[in-house]
């Protein structure tokens, strides 16, 4: 019931169109029902000599225009009348098809827009947990299933109801006993259909889930195709795909077997019912209990009645499928959107940041960050070093309020972070993510994507700071060079620098580089950091890096281990302390020395 309500909610704004479609199908059914009655009248009262059981005004009309004799000698008039009825029936069927299709398209558009809108507002955490392939399937295939149901089957339910009412009413008025025979197997067909509906619903769900798993494998494989190639994992990936593909095929086979079994056995029941009408009807005609015309009406109504009832199985199956799709869509919509995204203070951020005894964990029972405290003044650079998984990204994510801290305080310019409007905060703080994502657009569009009406000179300026301007100008199409999906036509370092330019162009007072200089060489890294220092505004900069040379000239360096600050201070102080910083510095220094020696040794003697 909840799902039906949801469906009706999605239909808001299109209900009038659906009402029109239902009306059209009702009128079309009336004309469809009328045609066998005209045949009965022709067989019994024009060709035969039965009394004309027609309304008086029709009788008067026929009588005034030549009577029965005229019709008998001009049977084409009856033929023409039947054609007219068929054409009117066709017009109503056309209107029904048109209106229901327009309404269904509009509903599907509504659902897609609602889903997309909702996905944009779900918390960051949601997107780190769900599979993209699964989401894509829900936004496409599941919406399509609902669209198809609403456009075709939904209205068919109305048709079945109309046929049932009109034909039973006419049949009962013609002959009660024959009507009982005509409907004798209908409860069995209906029962059979309903049982089948419940069985098949489960099979459809399994098949859909298998399809989703298959899309996920495909999507992951295509996104990570370069990793697969680099690690020569093609066989593993192909095996994985084959497995999911076979599971999908098996689930679909099962479904098809069920459907085949249903169609064949229900066909048998339907023809048995038509046969019963035929045999019993012929018996009644032979014994003069009903007319031949009445038998023609019963046979033609029986076909009109029994097949749509059998079709009810298909309709209910599709209804079941649509309800499953609706449930899957609803699962997304039921996720709460990010809390208070546009609520809170919108201070003019200067960049003084303080962490005071901050603790945070993704799960209730495990802290990722413990008792973190430090202060950074506007314009200073703070660097964070730590082993993998020590909590560096988590720490800067807190600053953007992608997650909220559990304990302690984070203050920006003295204002508690939780009081600041999330949307505003994210507009004020620029972050270059660990894995930069570039759109399939030109480099210029990629850099300017976060700012409206951006000026070309600002794009150039940002690119110069990111040390990518000259590289871009060297490309044949310069800034108009289209970047392939995920930026594959650029090198890792170039991609990182375009992403840096994209962040710099926003003129944020706080910048975060989450290991974003890892793919650039030391010289470019230095050039970028120097340009950042020369920027007009005082920018508070967070740099996460594993490379000591990137961190060494920071005003404050934090060393994280297991979510705790184990060392902090300037480079000169830290290299004197025994600890992680000194260890990494020593290793990196000796590596560099070795590389230098190797380079000297291989240099040609002048
Ligand atoms: N969305 C999440 N849900 C649950 N746990 C997470 C989530 N993101 C990160 N973690 C866990 O939190 C811990 C810290 O992760 P984080 O990404 O902050 O580390 P990091 O120091 O930035 O690592 P790296 O240098 O590898 O990027 C890890 O154990 C990680 O598995």
What would the pLDDT profile of 407-442 be if each residue is shown by its tens digit? 899 999 999 999 999 889 988 898 888 788 888 888
Any idea which of 54-58, 97-101, 124-128, 284-288 has the lowest mean pLDDT?
54-58
d(CA 145, CA 132): 19
pLDDT of residue 606: 43
Nearest protein CA to atom 5 of ligand 1, as residue = 362
pLDDT of residue 172: 92
Nearest protein CA to atom 30 of ligand 1, as residue = 389
Nearest protein CA to atom 3 of ligand 1, as residue = 362
209 C-alpha to center of ligand 1: Å?
29
408 C-alpha to center of ligand 1: Å?
20
pLDDT of residue 281: 93
Q: Convert the pLDDT of each residue in 558-602 to its tens digit.
A: 999 999 999 989 988 988 888 888 888 888 777 666 766 666 665
In 3D space, the residue among 68, 284, 305, 60 whose CA is nearest the CA of residue 168 turns out to be 305
| Ligand 1, pocket residues at CB < 6 Å | 125, 128, 362, 368, 386, 388-394, 434
d(CA 302, CA 271): 10
Q: Which CATH superfamily hosts domain 353-599?
A: P-loop containing nucleotide triphosphate hydrolases (3.40.50.300)
Radius of gyration of the chain (CA): 37
pLDDT of residue 604: 52
Q: Please give the helix or strand (H or E) that residue 132 lies within, else none.
A: helix 132-137
pLDDT of residue 602: 56
In 3D space, the residue among 543, 520, 544 whose CA is nearest the CA of residue 532 turns out to be 543
Half-sphere exposure of 234 (CA within 13 A, CB side): 4
Judged against a pLDDT cut of 80, whether residue 59 lies above it is answered with no
Is residue 151 very low, low, confident or very high in pLDDT (cuts 50, 70, 90)? confident
Arithmetic mean of pLDDT, 541-562: 89
Arithmetic mean of pLDDT, 155-174: 88
Sequence-distant (≥ 6) Cβ neighbours of residue 515 within 8 angstroms: 392, 434, 544, 545, 546
- Identify which has the larger pLDDT, 82 or 193: 82
Is residue 539 very low, low, confident or very high in pLDDT (cuts 50, 70, 90)? confident
Strands 369-376 and 556-561: unpaired
Q: Are 380 and 540 in contact (CB under 8 A)?
A: yes
Half-sphere exposure of 564 (CA within 13 A, CB side): 3
Nearest protein CA to atom 24 of ligand 1, as residue = 388
d(CA 93, CA 134): 37
Ligand 1: residue of 362, 395, 514 to mutate (most ligand atoms within 8 A of CB) is: 362
3-state secondary structure of 108: helix
Arithmetic mean of pLDDT, 27-55: 86
Arithmetic mean of pLDDT, 395-410: 90
- Residue 142, Cβ density class (10 Å: 0-12 exposed, 13-18 middle, ≥19 buried): buried
395 C-alpha to center of ligand 1: Å?
10
Q: Are 260 and 226 in contact (CB under 8 A)?
A: no
pLDDT of residue 521: 79
Judged against a pLDDT cut of 90, whether residue 507 lies above it is answered with no
Nearest protein CA to atom 17 of ligand 1, as residue = 393
Is residue 452 very low, low, confident or very high in pLDDT (cuts 50, 70, 90)? confident
pLDDT of residue 364: 84
Atom of ligand 1 nearest to the CA of 125: 1
564 C-alpha to center of ligand 1: Å?
14
The domain locations on the chain are 2-333, 353-599
Ligand 1: residue of 393, 545, 563 to mutate (most ligand atoms within 8 A of CB) is: 393
Share of the chain above pLDDT 70, in %: 97
d(CA 86, CA 1): 38
d(CA 125, CA 360): 14
d(CA 138, CA 119): 12
Judged against a pLDDT cut of 60, whether residue 603 lies above it is answered with no
Cross-strand pairs, 564: 561
Sequence length of the chain is 606
560 C-alpha to center of ligand 1: Å?
13
Distance spanning both ends of the chain, measured CA to CA: 87
Is residue 70 very low, low, confident or very high in pLDDT (cuts 50, 70, 90)? confident
390 C-alpha to center of ligand 1: Å?
7
Report which listed range, 185-189, 248-252, 423-427, 544-548, is most confident: 248-252
pLDDT of residue 284: 92
Sequence-distant (≥ 6) Cβ neighbours of residue 359 within 8 angstroms: 367, 369, 370, 371, 372, 405, 406, 407, 408
Cross-strand pairs, 429: 510
Q: Are 406 and 563 in contact (CB under 8 A)?
A: no
pLDDT of residue 605: 46
496 C-alpha to center of ligand 1: Å?
21
Nearest protein CA to atom 29 of ligand 1, as residue = 389
Nearest protein CA to atom 16 of ligand 1, as residue = 391
In 3D space, the residue among 410, 398, 337 whose CA is nearest the CA of residue 374 turns out to be 410
293 C-alpha to center of ligand 1: Å?
81
pLDDT of residue 510: 92
Burial 93-105 (b: 16+ CB within 10 A, else e): bebbbebbbbbbe
Q: Is CATH 1.10.10.10 the classification given to domain 2-333?
A: no
- Residue 426, Cβ density class (10 Å: 0-12 exposed, 13-18 middle, ≥19 buried): middle
- Identify which has the larger pLDDT, 168 or 311: 168
In 3D space, the residue among 50, 83, 86, 80 whose CA is nearest the CA of residue 68 turns out to be 50
Question: Which CA distances in Å does 21 have to 94, 161, 315?
Answer: 9, 14, 17
Q: Are 311 and 191 in contact (CB under 8 A)?
A: no
Nearest protein CA to atom 4 of ligand 1, as residue = 362
Question: Which CA distances in Å does 456 have to 398, 448, 460, 476, 506?
Answer: 33, 9, 6, 18, 13
Half-sphere exposure of 516 (CA within 13 A, CB side): 29
d(CA 496, CA 499): 5
Is residue 476 very low, low, confident or very high in pLDDT (cuts 50, 70, 90)? confident
Nearest protein CA to atom 26 of ligand 1, as residue = 388
- Identify which has the larger pLDDT, 387 or 452: 387
In 3D space, the residue among 322, 319, 323 whose CA is nearest the CA of residue 3 turns out to be 323
What is the chain's mean pLDDT, rounded? Answer: 86
């Amino acid at each position: 019931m909840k799902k039906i309500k949801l469906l009706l909610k999605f239909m808001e704004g299109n209900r009038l169109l659906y009402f029109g479609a239902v009306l059209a199908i009702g009128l079309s059914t009336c004309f469809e029902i009328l045609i066998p009655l005209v045949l009965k009248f022709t067989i019994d009262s024009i060709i035969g000599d039965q009394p004309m059981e027609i309304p008086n005004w029709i009788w008067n009309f026929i009588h005034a225009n030549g009577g029965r004799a005229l019709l008998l000698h001009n049977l084409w008039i009856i033929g023409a009348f039947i054609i007219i009825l068929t054409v009117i029936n066709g017009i109503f069927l056309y209107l029904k098809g048109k209106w229901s299709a327009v309404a269904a398209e509009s509903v599907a558009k509504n659902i897609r827009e609602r889903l997309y809108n909702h996905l944009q507002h779900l918390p960051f955490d949601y997107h780190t947990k769900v599979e993209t392939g699964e989401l894509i399937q829900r936004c496409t295939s599941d919406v399509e299933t609902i669209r198809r149901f609403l456009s075709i089957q939904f209205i068919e339910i109305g048709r079945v109801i109309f046929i049932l009412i009109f034909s039973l009413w006419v049949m009962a008025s013609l002959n009660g006993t024959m009507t009982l025979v005509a409907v004798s197997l209908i409860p069995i067909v209906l029962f059979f259909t309903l049982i089948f509906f419940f069985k098949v619903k489960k099979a459809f769900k399994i098949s859909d889930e298998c399809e989703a798993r298959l899309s996920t494998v495909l999507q992951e494989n295509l996104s990570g195709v370069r990793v697969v190639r680099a690690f020569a994992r093609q066989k593993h990936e192909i095996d994985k795909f084959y497995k999911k593909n076979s599971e999908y095929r098996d689930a679909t086979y099962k479904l098809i077997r069920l459907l085949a079994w249903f169609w064949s056995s229900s066909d048998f029941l339907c023809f048995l019912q038509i046969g019963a009408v035929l045999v019993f009807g012929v018996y009644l005609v032979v014994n003069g209990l009903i007319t031949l015309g009445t038998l023609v009406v019963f046979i033609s109504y029986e076909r009109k009645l029994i097949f749509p009832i059998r079709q009810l199985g298909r309709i209910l199956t599709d209804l079941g499928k649509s309800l499953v799709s609706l449930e899957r869509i609803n699962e997304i919509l039921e996720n709460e959107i990010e809390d208070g995204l546009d609520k809170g203070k919108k201070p003019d951020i200067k960049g003084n940041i303080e962490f005071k005894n901050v603790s945070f964990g993704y799960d209730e029972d495990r802290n990722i960050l413990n008792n973190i405290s430090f202060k950074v003044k506007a314009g200073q650079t703070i660097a964070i070093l730590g082993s993998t998984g020590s909590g560096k990204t988590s720490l800067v994510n807190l600053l953007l309020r992608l997650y909220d801290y559990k304990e302690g305080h984070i203050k920006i310019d003295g204002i508690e972070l939780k009081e600041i409007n999330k949307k505003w905060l994210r507009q004020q703080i620029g972050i270059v993510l660990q894995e930069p994502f570039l759109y399939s657009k030109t480099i210029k569009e990629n850099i300017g994507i976060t700012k409206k009406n951006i000026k070309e000179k600002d794009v150039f300026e940002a690119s110069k700071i990111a040390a990518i301007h000259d590289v871009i100008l060297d490309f044949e199409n310069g800034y108009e060079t289209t970047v392939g999906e995920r930026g594959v036509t650029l090198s890792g370092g170039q991609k990182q620098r375009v992403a840096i330019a994209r962040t710099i162009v926003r003129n944020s007072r706080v910048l975060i580089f989450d290991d974003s200089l890892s793919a650039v060489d030391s010289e470019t890294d230095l050039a970028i950091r120097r340009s950042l220092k020369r920027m007009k505004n005082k920018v508070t900069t967070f740099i996460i890096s594993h490379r000591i040379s990137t961190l060494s000239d920071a005003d404050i360096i934090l060393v994280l281990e297991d979510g705790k600050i184990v060392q902090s201070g300037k480079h000169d102080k830290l290299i004197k302390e025994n600890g992680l910083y000194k260890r990494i510095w020593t290793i990196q220094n000796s590596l560099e020395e070795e590389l230098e020696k190797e380079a000297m040794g291989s240099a040609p003697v002048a």
